[in-house]
A and B are shown apart, each in its own frame.
Chain A
């Protein structure tokens, strides 16, 4: 596991060129130029479609299907937002998504921290096959389990319920969370556990009072990845919770259609509101997302 802060520090603290390297100064200028050109191009390509979506959500229906398209709304209006939340009940989808994603994330963090502490620290057998097994499970496509889960949920009478999504989301996100958190636990000196034990702390005091507070970066990483996966999930949500009252945002937006035309303005108003909170969340936890990207590839 790398410390993302160290990466940033290192890249900032590059040595000034020594006299011997002055010959390659032109080389450095070329490299920097390429770097900046790619950077600007990439930012433009990523942002342009987002801009188009957000701008469209402030236009009236006539302007949305106008040729030529308008780069800025003539008269920015909030009608589409009123439509999305007032008429189309987008608020219900929003509430459902929050309930499902938050619950699944909390359960994943709780179960994964217990399991990964056990794998990292306690003298249990078969750790290596277990870790490889978890990796293998996380590669299975969702379609492989869809029909048995559907039959099972139907028998239980759980189709169109929160648990119909929370339980599968927990199961599908646990393997990665365990992998990431184990890496953090392994990085905490074992002496801390022993010191706590000598001081008379039992196992659960040790975990919850001493070790977990030190492993919060791991909890953040596992938590953010789980939350994003739950927030964006569509396949299970479409299959298990088809009823309007239980639709999450992705299902609501996918099945959103007007009687005669596609109501893009209303769709994008709802979408803009759905994009905002998760972008803010991920930017706050940016450091830990970057750490998660290297977690699988770097020796723990």
Chain B
């Protein structure tokens, strides 16, 4: 096919128009990720005239992988991600299916569901910290009124309970958003398909597995991916709610990297933790897309 002069001009214009966006993205994401990998392979000392780099191969990774705290933070983050993402997806799907019935007031529901999404996580954390407070928190008061507990519980000061309390705060804030993604997906499924399945005598259960679920897969894949990534970046909530404690029981992997770099000045090992996180996130993202058989091509088309 002959490439016209106008086409060539338009192509050049196209590259110029993309330049500002690609330049910023490259400068702030791609270049620093490459630089992070380089930093993780160096012994870095902060000196009076900047930073001094000495190549030391995989030493930082050896330091990280033999560190008890790293494995503890990784275990906590993985456990936290699996539980919260699973609960949010199941709960979000159930609520979305319930709201997809022919009922009034769905507009109000959608409006209210948007509010937790707009809430600054730090504010949500302060809010829950006050609710969970071991001395005057409203949760202890309510649970004691209905005799579920006999005396005040230190929700944020007890190792297992703090993790649980943080998960509840996360599930409260994020489930509405997951519900909205799934509800939007449900509303795109043509009514005729259900009618046809009904006429064929398919039960509610079969209609769900053979009509709803396959057609909802792209939305489910999107919600899962979005949530896994967010859960692995977990930082704001433990920073305010527990400070990573009690002890180090709620220290997430992002928090560990942050503290190593900015509190202890261990740039090399801290960056090695960050790079390892990226690797894990990529593997998990690919695995979750594959599990839900949602392909990027399918999404992009």
Question: Could you list which residues of chain A lie within 8 angstroms of chain B, going by C-beta atoms?
Answer: 2, 7-8, 10-11, 14, 28, 31-32, 34-39, 42-43, 45-47, 49-50, 52-53, 56, 64-69, 111-112, 114-115, 117-119, 122-125, 128, 131-132, 134-135, 137, 139-152, 155, 167-168, 170-172, 174-175, 178, 203, 228, 231-232, 234-235, 238-239, 249-251, 253-254, 262, 264, 267-268, 271, 274-275, 278-279, 281-283, 286, 289-290, 293-294, 296-300
Contact = CB atoms under 8 A, between A and B. Distances in A.
B202 interface: no
In the A-B complex, the 10 residue pairs with the smallest Cβ-Cβ separation, listed nearest first, are A122-B14, A171-B28, A35-B101, A38-B98, A148-B32, A145-B32, A118-B14, A115-B21, A148-B35, A35-B103
Interface of B: 7, 10-11, 13-15, 17-18, 20-22, 24-25, 27-33, 35-36, 39, 50-51, 94-95, 98-103, 105-131, 135-136, 138, 141, 172, 176, 179-181, 184-185, 187-188, 191, 218-219, 221-222, 225, 229, 232-233, 235-236, 239-240, 253-254, 257-258, 261-262, 267, 270-271, 274-275, 277-278, 281-282, 285, 296, 299-301
Contacts of A69: 136, 138, 141
Given A49-B131, A56-B130, A297-B219, A139 B101 contact: no
Contacts of B121: 232, 234, 250
A155 B17 contact: no
Given A124-B15, A143-B253, 15 more contacts: A2-B187, A119-B18, A135-B300, A140-B281, A144-B36, A146-B261, A147-B271, A172-B29, A250-B121, A250-B236, A254-B240, A275-B119, A282-B118, A296-B299, A297-B222
Contacts of A298: 188, 218
Nearest to A124: B14
A52 B103 contact: no
A197 B245 CA distance: 63
B120 A253 contact: yes
Given A141-B254, A254-B122, A115 B277 contact: no
B274 to A, nearest CB: 5
Contact of A7 (B14, B25, B176, B187): B187
Contact of A145 (B28, B180, B185, B225): B28
B104 to A, nearest CB: 9
A176 B127 CA distance: 30
A297 B29 contact: no
A65 B271 CA distance: 42
A271 B236 contact: no
B22 A115 contact: yes
A234 B185 contact: no
A274 B14 CA distance: 40
A118 B17 contact: yes
Given A42-B95, A228-B117, A114 B18 contact: yes
B33 A145 contact: yes
A159 B30 CA distance: 21
A49 B128 contact: yes
A156 to B, nearest CB: 12
12 contacts: A36-B103, A46-B112, A67-B141, A124-B14, A142-B254, A143-B235, A172-B29, A174-B24, A228-B118, A234-B239, A293-B181, A297-B299
A32 B102 contact: yes
B117 A271 contact: no
A254 to B, nearest CB: 5
B24 A175 contact: no
B122 A283 contact: no
A69 B39 CA distance: 52
B30 to A, nearest CB: 7
Most A-side CB within 10 Å, residue of B51, B110, B118, B254: B118
A49 B139 CA distance: 11
A46 B7 contact: no
B119 A65 contact: no
A111 B181 CA distance: 26
Given A143-B277, A145-B32, A250-B121, A297 B113 contact: no
Contacts of B20: 111, 114-115
A50 B101 contact: no
Contact of B274 (A52, A131, A143): A143
B102 A28 contact: yes
Nearest to B26: A171
